[in-house]
Structure 1
C-alpha cells in the first residue's frame, strides 16, 4: 500500500536521509515502497532533547536519519525505552512506549516516533510548573539579592 504525503507550501520532508522541500503550493507525494520518512515539523532539534523522553525521541530520530546510527544505536535505544517503561506507571503511556519498542525492533523508526509523541506531551505536563493561586509571594524590599557577589568583597 502506497503512502501519500500531502505537503503544505514550503514544507520539508526527509526521505531516506534526503531533504525534499515543497514549492509554494500544496502537493501530494506518493511513496510506493518502504522508506524512512519524517516531516520537518516532527524533527526535534538536539538542543531541545533535554528530558528523558526527548533524548529517546532524538536518538530514534537520529536512527531514522542516519543508517550508521541505526546500525549502532539500537542497544542504547532499547535501554532508554526500558528505563522509560519502568519510570512511567500509567498503562496507556507504558503501552505507547512498548509500541515504540516494537517499531524500533522492526526498524520502523517513524512509527516509533509517532508512538512516543503522546509520551513526550505527557512528560511535558509532568514537568511543567503547576499554576497555583496560593503561590507564596516573597517580599524583596530592603533585601540585598546579590549578597556574596560584591566586587572586592
Structure 2
C-alpha cells in the first residue's frame, strides 16, 4: 500500500536518511514501498531530549534517520525501554512502551515514535502537572492522561 505525503510549501521530510525539501507550493509525494520516513516537524532536537521517555524517543529517532545508528543503538534502546516499562505503572503506558519496542524490533521506527508520543505527554504531566504537555518541535500538542 502506497503512502501519500502531502507536503506544505517549504516542508522537509527525511526519507531513508535523505532530506527532501518541498518548493514554494503544496505537493503530494507517493512512496510505493516501505521506507524510513519522518517529517521535519516531527524531529526532536537533542536539547529537547531531557527526560527518560524523550531520550528513548531521540535514540529511536536517530535509528530512523541513520541506518548506522540503528545497528549501534539497538541494545541501548532495548535497555531504555525495559527501564521505562518498569518505571511506568499505568497499564496503557506499559502497553504503548511494549508496542514501541515491537516496532523497533520490526525496524518500523516511525511507528515506535508514534507509540511513545502519548507516553511523553503522560510523563510531562507527571513531571510538570501545572504546565501544558510538550511535543517534539512542530508536532501537534498532546495532553497528559489521568
Pairwise same-fold verdict (TM > 0.5)? yes
Partner Cα separation in structure 2 for residue 115 and residue 36 of structure 1: 16
Report how far residue 130 of structure 1 moved: 3.2
Whole-Å Cα distance in 2 between the matches of residues 37 and 70 of structure 1? 14
Q: What is the TM-score when the length of structure 2 is the normalising length?
A: 0.87
The CA RMSD over aligned residues, in Å, is 1.1
Q: Tell me, in whole angstroms, the C-alpha distance in 2 between the residues paired with 1:117 and 1:13.
A: 19
Q: Quote the Cα distance in structure 2 between the aligned partners of 1:64 and 1:58.
A: 10
- Structure 2 gap ranges (5+): 132-146
Asked if 1:4 is matched to 2:4, the reply is yes
Larger RCO, structure (CA 8 Å, separation 6 or more): 2
Secondary structure of the equivalent of 2:61?
helix
Cα shift readout 1:7-65 (whole Å, capped 9, x = no counterpart):
11111100011101111221111000111100111100001111000000000000011
Question: Following the alignment from structure 1 to structure 2, what is the Cα–Cα distance between the partners of residues 25 and 97?
Answer: 38
| Count of residue pairs the alignment pairs up | 131
Q: Structure 1 runs of 4+ off > 3 angstroms?
A: none
Structure 1 unmatched ranges of 5 or more: 132-153
The residue aligned with 2:51 is 51
